[in-house]
Amino acid sequence: MSEKLLGKPRILWRVILLSVVSLLLYYGWYKWIIQEELRSYNGKGWSGTLCLLPFVLGVAIPQALRIFDPDVPGWFGWFSFVGIAWI
């Protein structure tokens, strides 16, 4: 490993607080930027976008189906927790 500084240190309690206040939007940004930093440092691995894709799809698709498709029962929206569990 090189002595190159790896990313910007972030305070854990601040990440948790901002994630709760912003309804996980801050954590999405945080996860994306961390993955991008790791990928640029290592030269391989998942990009931030690829890492967030299962989360976004896991949250958005069940909610969109629940809202826009009349044949989907209302409880189907609870499958959004699958996307949240990914994170």
**Residue 3: inside a domain, yes or no?**
no
3-state helix, strand, coil in the chain (%, to 5): 70, 0, 30
Handedness of CA 62, 67, 71, 72 (dihedral sign): positive
**Residue 6: inside a domain, yes or no?**
no
The mean per-residue pLDDT over the stretch 7-18 comes to 86
**Residue 5: inside a domain, yes or no?**
no
2: confidence class by pLDDT, cuts 50, 70, 90? low
**Rounded Cα–Cα distance for residues 47 and 49 (Å):** 5
pTM over 0.95: no
**Residue 1: inside a domain, yes or no?**
no
State pLDDT tens for residues 56-81.
Answer: 888 888 888 888 988 988 888 888 88
Q: How many domains does the chain have?
A: 1
State which residues form the domain around 39: 12-86
Instruction: Supply φ then ψ for residue 75, to 5 degrees.
Output: -70, -15
18: confidence class by pLDDT, cuts 50, 70, 90? very high
Instruction: Supply φ then ψ for residue 79, to 5 degrees.
Output: -65, -10
